[in-house]
Chain A
Amino acid sequence: GAGVSQSPSNKVTEKGKDVELRCDPISGHTALYWYRQSLGQGLEFLIYFQGNSAPDKSGLPSDRFSAERTGGSVSTLTIQRTQQEDSAVYLCASIPGLITDTQYFGPGTRLTVL
């Protein structure tokens, strides 16, 4: 079946603008994670959703970052007033439901802030 999909695949924006990144998890998967991959910091956890709630937002780097999930499916990661240090690949992963399940990742969104 279809895997995790993310859009857009690439996003170039100007410093100070807001951006929205989208994640479509595997159908039926109830839990979803966002990670960020940057040259300086490697792969970092951002936020975890179980259903529509986010019990762990501990990885969000600042209050400019927020995420929501609606209908227990699609998730949107929003970055307000983007900064150059936000440039990274943003990855989404989903699991069927148990936190012990294996996470399957989408192709990522490459964000470049000029």
Chain B
Amino acid sequence: AQKVTQAQTEISVVEKEDVTLDCVYETRDTTYYLFWYKQPPSGELVFLIRRNSFDEQNEISGRYSWNFQKSTSSFNFTITASQVVDSAVYFCALSEYGSSNTGKLIFGQGTTLQVKP
């Protein structure tokens, strides 16, 4: 069965520290996508990144970077030089395309990141 685990419930860092949010997934499909979404206090889910199962290249976007490792079924997210505006709940999600024809997202429980000034 498919599952996404974000073991870190809450993380608190001081501004300018680097922080890594962990995500481990389970799937039997060979074709799937992984996502990260940010949910700031306003409540709206903001899309950050999407990776497909055939592309293990790491990606960097500004202060954000993602490390996808199929060998460990992980898709970790690192924020470099964190800022107060990064404070939010971050969700990792999985969507399967081998056995499913709907693209529905399976979410982890979320990690609440607090960045203190």
Contact = CB atoms under 8 A, between A and B. Distances in A.
A31 to B, nearest CB: 8
Interface residues of B, number: 25
A95 B110 CA distance: 23
A108 B43 CA distance: 8
Interface residues on A, range: 20 to 34
Decide if the interface of chain A is mainly helix, strand, loop or mixed.
Answer: strand
Contacts of A110: 43
Given A42-B109, A102-B35, A91 B101 contact: no
Interface of A: 31, 33, 35, 42-45, 48, 55-56, 59, 89, 91, 93, 95, 99-108, 110
Interface of B: 33, 35, 37, 42-47, 50, 52, 91, 93, 95, 97, 101-110
28 contacts: A31-B103, A33-B104, A35-B105, A42-B107, A42-B109, A43-B93, A43-B105, A44-B107, A45-B106, A55-B102, A56-B102, A89-B43, A91-B45, A93-B45, A99-B95, A99-B97, A99-B101, A99-B102, A100-B95, A101-B103, A102-B35, A103-B105, A105-B37, A105-B45, A105-B47, A106-B44, A107-B42, A108-B43
